[in-house]
Amino acid sequence: MNIYFLLEGAKTEPIVYQAWLAYLAPHLTKVKLFNQATHNNFYLFSVGGVTQVIPKLPTAIEEVNQAGNYDFLVVSRDSEDLSVAEIHQEVDDCVRTCGVELNPPAQLVVIVQNRCIETWFLGNRAFLPAVPGKPELQTYLRFYDVSANDPELMPAYPGITPAVRFHHTYFSRLHEATTKKPYSKRNPQFVVQKDFLDQLVSRTTDHPGHLQSFQDFLTFCARLKPAESPA
């Protein structure tokens, strides 16, 4: 089992995906180069921006085909102000028109971070301060309580647009209030911990309608588990 990840973010996503895969698919190990994958490996190709994902997809397809031993090519990007369906359509259109076909047995999988990866982080109900001190955070919680309502459905806050910017700002303020430290996309030290991920999984168990795009990620990771040996 080998997986090639085409990731939008050059900062947060490579760190978070590698850490979470260590919990969700611990049999997999990371390789630095795409052609180093042999068995139970994953490769992270980070393109550094939402506008670069689609242009880099043909390159990713070519590299997967060249290696010849990948089971999945995973395209992961924020939806920002588009719908999940529109992101899927963008990927489908690129695959149809780019002139490069993905060779079997590799399968294309699209993971949409709706609206961004910080939106997923907002699903951690335990990551809330007992008393939200700053008025700014109190205002955000009154506007949209992410502990009770699905973060993926949260609209933009008046004066903070687009919505994806507000989602990032909201989580940053929660992070500061809860940990007493600023949130860093380059060093998301709390979100990579297992208990943080467990809280997100627990949220989807208690509220199956919440965090649908995060659940797509979990569903894909479940496909990576090795088959059980016959008794």
How many angstroms separate the CA atoms of 183 and 203, rounded?
A: 22
Domain residue spans in the chain? Answer: 2-116+213-223, 118-206
The answer on pLDDT for 5 being more than 80 is yes
Query: CB atoms < 10 A from the CB of 98, how many?
Result: 15
CA 56/CA 27 separation, integer angstroms: 28
Q: What is the pLDDT of residue 135?
A: 92
What tokens does 32 get? Answer: 């630095």
Q: What is the CATH number of domain 2-116+213-223?
A: 3.40.50.10620
pLDDT for residue 62 is more than 80: yes
Q: What percent of the chain has pLDDT over 70?
A: 98
Answer yes or no: is pLDDT of 230 > 50: no
User: CA 159 to CA 103: how far, in whole Å?
Assistant: 47
- Side chain identity at 209, as an amino acid letter? G
Q: What is the mean pLDDT of the chain?
A: 94
Overall average pLDDT of the 100-104 stretch: 96
Between CA 128 and CA 200 the distance in angstroms is 13
